[in-house]
């Protein structure tokens, strides 16, 4: 017998309900209005199961690869969402359908790419960050200041939708403030690297902070050096999430 423990079994997913219950935060204006996500498809709390643990930096990429490989089996063991919007879905776990539906109409190809496994396991943390922040990806909106709360920060969208890597290497970029529509010149900061850590939607991701924030040139050099993240004073922690098993459909690994 299954109970619908992972999401609300009867919550409406229609647009009117979504507009009434969604918290008015800048991040949601970006995701829906700027990026074209079908964000309301997860308003019934589909993606809320997110236990966290920490591992040594030296084996960070290996641990992430293991969690990603085991995710389908883990989800199969704990399947508990047969209902959606008050209807029987015919699935023991309908949350697996969340990300393909959410990103189906996304404006940027990279948004859909970042919920699909890359072509090969991550070699190291630099490999992971280049995949998440380079290639075909488009940077999320960024705060002009040093804000770290990604849900409540006053943010600006980079003109032309460059990747985060492209923006950081450029040093500055023209942007549009999401609150008032005004034009700003956004200066790149190492803090933007920390702020953007929630950009991907695989079955596991890294949560990290930098007690000592390195200068931007040092951070960028670390992207291209194997095992250089220790010298950047980062202390990442793996966040293992039951977000949904990946399909056996992979996209090429992009590089910066």
Residue 185 maps to a domain: yes
Residue 7 maps to a domain: no
Residue 10 maps to a domain: no
Residue 224 maps to a domain: yes
Residue 85 maps to a domain: yes
- Count of domains for the chain: 1
The three-state DSSP-derived secondary structure of the chain is: CCCCCCCCCCCCCCHHHHHHHCCCCHHHHHHHHHCCCCHHHHCCCCCCCCCECCCCHHHHHHHHHHHHHHHHHHHHHCCCECEECCEECCCCEHHHHHHHHHCCCCCCHHHHHCCCCECCCCCCHHHHHHHHHCCCCCCCCECCCCCCCCCCCCCEEECCCCCHHHHHHHCEEEEEECCCCCEEEEECCHHHHHHCCCCCCCCEEEECCCCCCCCHHHHHHHHCCCCHHHHHCCCCEEEECCCCCCCCCCECCCCC
Residue 102 maps to a domain: yes
Tell me: the pLDDT tens digits for 38-94? 999 999 988 666 678 888 888 999 999 999 999 999 888 888 889 999 999 999 989
pTM (2 d.p.): 0.83
Residue 1 maps to a domain: no
Range of the domain at 158: 15-240
Residue 248 maps to a domain: no
Tell me: the pLDDT tens digits for 146-202? 766 666 678 999 999 999 999 999 999 999 998 888 999 999 999 999 999 999 999
Pairing of β 172-177 and β 156-158: antiparallel
Orientation of helix 125-133 relative to helix 60-77, angle to 10°: 70
């Amino acid at each position: 017998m299954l109970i619908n423990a992972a999401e609300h079994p009867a919550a409406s997913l229609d647009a009117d309900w979504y507009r009434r219950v969604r918290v008015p935060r800048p991040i949601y204006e970006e995701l829906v209005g700027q990026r074209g996500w079908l964000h309301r498809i997860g308003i019934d709390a589909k993606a809320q199961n997110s236990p966290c643990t920490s591992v040594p930096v030296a084996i960070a990429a290996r641990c992430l690869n293991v969690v990603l490989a085991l995710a389908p089996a883990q989800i199969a063991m704990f399947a508990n969402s047969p209902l959606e919007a008050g209807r029987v879905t015919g699935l023991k776990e309908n949350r697996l359908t969340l990300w393909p539906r959410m990103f189906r109409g996304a404006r940027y190809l990279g948004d859909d790419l970042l919920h699909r496994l890359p072509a090969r396991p991550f070699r190291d943390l630099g490999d992971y960050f280049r995949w998440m922040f380079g290639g075909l990806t488009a940077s999320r909106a960024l705060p002009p200041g040093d804000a770290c709360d990604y849900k409540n920060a006053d943010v600006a969208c980079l003109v032309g939708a460059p990747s985060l890597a492209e923006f950081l290497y450029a040093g500055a970029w023209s942007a549009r403030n999401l609150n008032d529509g005004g034009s700003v010149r956004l200066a790149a900061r190492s803090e933007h690297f920390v702020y953007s850590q929630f950009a991907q939607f695989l079955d596991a991701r890294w949560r990290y902070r930098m007690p000592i924030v390195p200068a931007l040139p040092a951070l960028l050099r670390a992207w291209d050096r194997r095992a250089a993240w220790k010298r950047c004073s980062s202390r990442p922690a793996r966040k293992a999430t039951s977000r949904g098993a990946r399909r056996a459909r992979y996209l090429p690994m992009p590089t910066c």
